[in-house]
Amino acid sequence: MSETISVRISRRLKEDLENLRIDYAELVRQYLEEVVRREKKRLMLTDADRTREELRAKYGLLSPSSHLVREDRDEDSR
């Protein structure tokens, strides 16, 4: 199911978009999808940082994530 949103732009801008044959509906859709993707990623990273800080506070110093990733990759390559 899809929803419709509307945006008010100047007549001149709309004419330019049409004259240049720019598919502005698709451009806006792609842009909004990218904004949502970035925001979800930012929220996930923020949550991961918070969890990591809670673990650090509870268990002490933890290795940087890059060390953990390297260990996993090294084990996978064996």
pLDDT value for 60: 79
Q: Is 0.75 surpassed by the pTM of this model?
A: no
CA dist., res. 47 & res. 44, Å (int): 5
Taking 3-state DSSP, the helix, strand and coil percentages for the chain, each rounded to the nearest 5, stand at 75, 0, 25
Sign of CA dihedral 17, 23, 25, 30: negative
Whether the per-residue pLDDT at 73 is higher than 90: the answer is no
Q: pLDDT tens digit string along 57-67? A: 888 766 666 67
pLDDT at 70 over 80: no
What are 51's two structure tokens?
Answer: 């969890």
pLDDT at residue 63, as a whole number: 66
Mean pLDDT, residues 47-69 taken together: 79
| Terminal C-alpha separation, the chain | 47
Digit-coded pLDDT (tens) for 13-44? 999 999 999 999 999 999 999 999 999 999 99
